[in-house]
Every structure is written in structure tokens, then in C-alpha cells.
């Protein structure tokens, strides 16, 4: 990958156990540490700095039943450590802590400027610990550490700072009314206890995306980290306490989504649910939240079209399309996974895209020249390889890759298919892996129709030198974000979210704060002369 852009206007191109006593488990923790294998001394020290428990009411505690699960090193499949596994009873305790912190604690009542100051402090702490957090993220997730260091962490820091700046600017208004001698004003107030469920592909960044707007508005949070990647979430929870976030305001749990995630999404004392993940799970989350009539925001899957026009700079388009698909091992909801190339340049594009994939460096995510690390888990690894085999069977032409890379861990060869048809599984299903599907198009009307012929609508790309073509395509595409002559550019101020089954609501920007607040209207009689009325 040639470049990354991030901070500011730049972006990425490139439980409180109420009334219950929990027994100490120090001997078990020592055993857990001893189980960690194949880590350098520095990495082992970073792992040892994490409290692998549940953060509830400002304390790191074991689960009520003492259950744990293993988080794995995707480079080898070996265990990193054991982490406390949240149960439905632990969810109750976490929600109780958040409920108490909201109903009786200082967080929603202190001036917004003070909440902003604490969020700025949290961002500063992430910046202070950037290197250790980047290494922890890459160990747990498998992404190249230089991407964690130069993309995930800087974007998370800038996101928190953006919402820190909003904390004292959330305001209502005075509303002119037609009722004589009456004043009407509105307030924007926090919703209450927010359940937030984050994915494993950008764990720390997604945690920042969720916490920033929720906290700046004065809500309290129970955040569930993905069971595949809990470590940076737990460490960031600890940093929240260090920054001055009051006990119970941020609670961090992890475990099986079907247990803890379901209990959290449907909890009767939660006031809102925010989820990032697959469309399939998003539908379940929405059903669970519906019993309580809770509002939801969902950032879900995608099958994003990336349209290469006949006048595009082909070398630049090849590189950008490669990045759009292969970044983060293809584990991006916005991945440009349907590469539509005009028939006039199709053969040349396929040849160059194949060569680029063949030259992609796959290996240890801690090596400085690695572009692609392992997939996050064996489950994801097996799913991707299965879809590759389906592509072969359905007649797509395998140009390169298609199998395992190496003999251990969850590495997959960069894979390119040409002659892909719209009805093929690899052109319809979200693969979430390093598999590029290249399709041929002829007319603009045709490519717009085909690009929109999907249940998804998260993002899209357009590569052309012709302004009219760029405008025509970007206006015609049914997607929440369209990148023109670039891809995967994000900024905290710009709303991000999907059309259709790619989600509900928006992350980022002023619009996101609306999802974490509600409007209260207050009428007050005015005494005095009628002339006071507007």
C-alpha cells in the first residue's frame, strides 16, 4: 500500500455485582498467564498489562460463574490468554451499574465542557500508549502493526477529540409559538443506558466510534467487545477510568454474542442499542431491542461496487482497487468487493490487478514490510476458503491465489477472480476476506443498475477523469458513502452509514449525536404585556 492519510481533515486511504460476593481467582490468573506461548518478551509484557476480566462499576472482576474463554493469536492459532466470559447474570450487573451511574451519578449532570475535558484526556492517554495498544491490537486481530500504528490508533484518537469538542455544544432552541403569553424551549438530553456491541475487524477504533458520541452527550454505556478481540477494549476501559470517567459510566464485557450480546440487546433497563457487525446479526439485534421499543443504530454489511471507467488512470485505479479490497485482510464492511471494469480496459486491468495481488506481501503482522496478516480466526479462515471454492465451481476464472498461505495460522493467499457474473455467490455474498471479484461492464445505465442490484448499500467507488461521469455515477449509486478517485477515506465530521440492509442511522458527525439524545419540549407561561410576544 503506497499511502495512508488520517488525522483531522485527512483520513484513511490507505458490573456492579449488587449484593453478591465474587471469590478471588488469583491462582487461576497465574495459570492463564503461564498458558501464553510464542510471544516475544515485549509482547508478553503488553499482554500481562491487560486485566482479562469484566469491567463493571469501575472494577475488573471475574464472571459470576468463573467462566473464561480463550483469545487466540491468529498467526499461529495458539492461545494468548484466558478472558472472563460474560453471562446473562453479568449483563444484569453491568446494566445495573450503568443505570445507577446515569440515574444518580454525576456524568449526565456535569457541564458538557467537563465531559469534553475527560474525553480529551482519554484521547491523550491513547496517544501516550499508542505503540503498546497498536501491538496489542495486531496480536489479537492479526492486522499488520504498521496499520494499527498509523491508521487505527490515530483515527480513534481524532474521533474522541472530535466528540470532546461537541460535548458543550449540544443545545436546544427557543421555538416561536402561536399560543399567547407562552414560551416554548427545547432541550437535547441523553437517552440513558446505551448498549454498544462492536466487531472484531477494527476493535479499538470501533470502540472509539461508539463511546465518543454516547459519552459526550451524557449517556452511560455497557459495551460488549467481540470474543475474538477483547484485549484492547479491556485496556481502553482501564484508560477511561484513568482519564476520570466515573465508575459505572463505561462498563466493558466480552463473551459469546448469542449469550451476552443477546441479553444486552434485549435488556429491559437499556435505553438504546448500537451495533456494528453483520447484517444477519443486526436483524437479530433489532428484534431483541424491539421488545423494549428501544431505538437502534446499525452499521452492517456491504458488497460495495467499485466502478472503473474507461478513462481512468489504469495504474492508479489498479492500486486503489487493490487497496479497496485487500486492506485489513479484506475484513472491511466497506470493501470494494465488486470491481466493475469497463470492457475497453478490462483485460489490461485484470492483468495488472493479478500482478499486484501476486506481489502483495503476506506474513507476520509485526514485520515492517507486511501488507497482509492472517484472518482473525479459524472460523473466518474456513468461511473464506469455502467461498473461494464456490467461485471456482460456479465458473469464475481464478487468476491467482485461492488457497492457504503457509502451513500454520490463518493466512490466505491474495485471490483474484475474473469473468465474475452478477449471479455468482462471490458477487452476492459478503466474503470479508482477501478475494477480489472483477466484473465487466459496457454502459453507464447498465453498471448503475447492476451496482444497485444488491441488498447492501454501504459504500461505493468511482474512478474516472470525467466530472460528468463522476457526478452521474455518484448520484445514481444507492450507497451511504461514495468515494471518487479514492477509497476508504474517513473523517469524524462526515456521517457514515448504509442504505438498505447495510444499516440504520449514522456514525460520525453532528448527525450521530442525534442518535444518542432525545428532545424535551418545555412550555412556560409569560406574565406581562402582550407586546412581549414575538
Does residue 473 contact residue 308 with C-beta atoms inside 8 Å? Answer: no
Q: Which residue, chain included where needed, has cell 459505572?
A: 248
User: Using N-to-C axis directions, what is the helix angle for 444-452 and 467-476, rounded to 10°?
Assistant: 30
- Rounded Cα gap, residues 109 and 111, in angstroms: 7
User: Using N-to-C axis directions, what is the helix angle for 231-243 and 112-128, rounded to 10°?
Assistant: 130
Query: Is residue 299 annotated as part of the catalytic site, yes or no?
Result: yes
Tell me the β-bridge partners of 182: 525
Tell me the β-bridge partners of 340: 307, 439
Chain centre to alpha carbon of residue 168: 26
Which one of 333, 371, 507, 512 is the catalytic residue?
Answer: 333
Does residue 412 contact residue 392 with C-beta atoms inside 8 Å? Answer: no
Does residue 19 contact residue 94 with C-beta atoms inside 8 Å? Answer: no
Alpha-carbon distances, residue 253 vs 66, 201, 260 (angstroms): 14, 17, 8
Which one of 72, 299, 371, 507 is the catalytic residue?
Answer: 299
Phi, psi of 153 (to 5 degrees): -70, -50
Alpha-carbon distances, residue 173 vs 92, 154, 427 (angstroms): 37, 35, 48
Q: Comparing C-alpha atoms, which of 192, 338, 195 is closest to residue 274?
A: 195
Reduced to 3 states (helix: H, G, I; strand: E, B; else coil), residue 296 is strand
Instruction: Find the length of the chain.
Output: 534
- Rounded Cα gap, residues 173 and 210, in angstroms: 26
Query: Is residue 85 annotated as part of the catalytic site, yes or no?
Result: no
Q: Cell digits for 97?
A: 451499574
**Active-site residue set:** 299, 333
Amino acid at each position: 500500500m503506497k499511502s495512508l492519510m488520517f488525522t483531522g481533515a485527512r483520513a484513511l486511504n490507505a458490573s456492579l455485582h449488587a449484593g453478591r460476593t465474587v471469590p478471588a481467582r488469583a491462582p487461576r490468573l497465574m495459570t492463564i498467564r503461564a498458558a501464553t506461548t510464542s510471544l516475544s518478551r515485549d509482547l508478553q509484557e503488553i499482554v500481562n498489562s491487560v486485566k482479562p476480566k469484566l469491567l463493571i462499576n469501575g472494577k475488573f472482576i471475574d464472571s459470576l460463574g468463573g467462566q473464561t474463554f480463550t483469545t487466540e493469536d491468529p498467526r499461529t492459532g495458539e492461545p494468548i490468554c484466558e478472558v472472563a466470559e460474560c453471562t446473562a447474570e453479568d449483563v444484569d450487573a453491568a446494566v445495573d451499574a450503568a443505570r445507577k451511574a446515569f440515574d444518580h451519578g454525576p456524568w449526565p449532570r456535569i457541564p458538557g465542557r467537563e465531559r469534553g475535558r475527560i474525553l480529551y484526556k482519554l484521547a491523550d492517554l491513547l496517544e501516550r500508549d499508542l505503540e503498546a495498544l497498536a501491538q496489542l491490537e495486531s496480536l489479537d486481530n492479526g492486522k499488520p502493526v504498521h496499520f494499527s500504528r498509523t491508521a487505527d490508533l490515530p483515527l480513534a484518537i481524532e474521533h474522541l477529540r472530535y466528540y470532546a469538542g461537541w460535548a458543550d455544544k449540544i443545545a436546544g432552541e427557543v421555538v416561536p409559538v402561536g399560543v399567547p403569553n407562552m414560551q416554548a424551549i427545547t432541550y437535547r438530553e441523553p437517552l440513558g443506558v446505551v448498549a454498544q456491541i462492536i466487531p472484531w475487524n477494527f476493535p479499538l477504533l470501533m470502540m472509539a466510534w461508539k463511546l465518543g458520541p454516547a459519552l459526550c452527550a451524557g449517556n452511560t454505556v455497557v459495551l460488549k467487545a467481540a470474543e475474538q478481540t477483547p484485549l484492547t477494549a479491556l485496556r481502553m476501559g482501564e484508560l477511561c477510568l484513568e482519564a476520570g470517567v466515573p465508575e459505572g459510566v463505561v462498563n466493558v464485557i466480552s463473551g459469546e454474542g448469542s449469550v451476552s450480546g443477546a441479553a444486552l440487546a434485549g435488556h429491559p433497563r437499556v435505553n438504546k442499542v448500537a451495533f456494528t457487525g453483520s447484517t444477519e446479526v443486526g436483524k437479530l439485534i433489532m428484534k431483541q431491542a424491539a421488545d423494549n421499543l428501544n431505538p437502534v443504530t446499525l452499521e452492517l454489511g456491504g458488497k460495495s461496487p467499485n466502478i472503473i471507467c474507461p478513462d481512468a488512470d489504469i495504474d492508479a485505479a489498479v492500486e486503489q482497487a487493490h487497496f479497496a479490497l485487500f486492506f485489513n485482510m479484506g475484513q472491511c464492511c466497506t470493501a470494494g468487493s465488486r470491481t466493475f471494469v469497463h470492457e475497453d480496459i478490462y483485460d489490461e486491468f485484470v492483468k495488472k490487478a493479478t500482478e499486484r495481488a501476486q506481489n502483495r506481501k503476506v506474513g507476520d503482522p509485526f514485520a515492517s514490510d507486511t501488507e497482509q496478516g492472517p484472518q482473525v480466526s479459524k472460523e473466518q479462515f474456513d468461511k473464506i476458503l469455502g467461498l473461494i471454492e464456490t467461485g471456482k465451481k460456479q465458473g469464475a476464472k481464478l487468476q491467482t491465489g485461492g488457497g492457504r498461505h503457509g502451513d500454520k495460522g490463518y493466512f490466505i493467499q491474495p485471490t483474484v477472480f475474473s469473468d465474475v457474473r452478477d449471479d455468482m455467490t462471490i458477487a452476492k455474498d459478503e466474503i470479508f476476506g482477501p478475494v477480489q471479484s472483477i466484473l465487466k461492464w459496457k454502459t453507464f445505465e447498465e453498471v448503475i443498475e447492476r451496482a444497485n442490484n444488491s441488498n447492501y448499500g454501504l459504500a461505493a467507488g468511482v474512478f474516472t477523469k470525467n466530472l460528468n461521469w463522476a457526478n452521474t455515477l455518484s448520484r445514481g449509486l444507492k450507497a451511504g458513502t461514495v468515494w471518487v478517485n479514492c477509497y476508504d477515506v474517513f473523517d469524524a465530521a462526515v456521517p457514515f452509514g448504509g442504505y438498505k440492509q447495510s444499516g440504520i442511522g449514522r456514525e460520525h458527525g453532528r448527525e450521530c449525536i442525534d442518535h444518542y439524545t432525545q428532545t424535551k419540549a418545555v412550555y412556560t407561561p409569560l406574565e406581562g404585556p402582550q407586546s412581549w410576544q414575538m
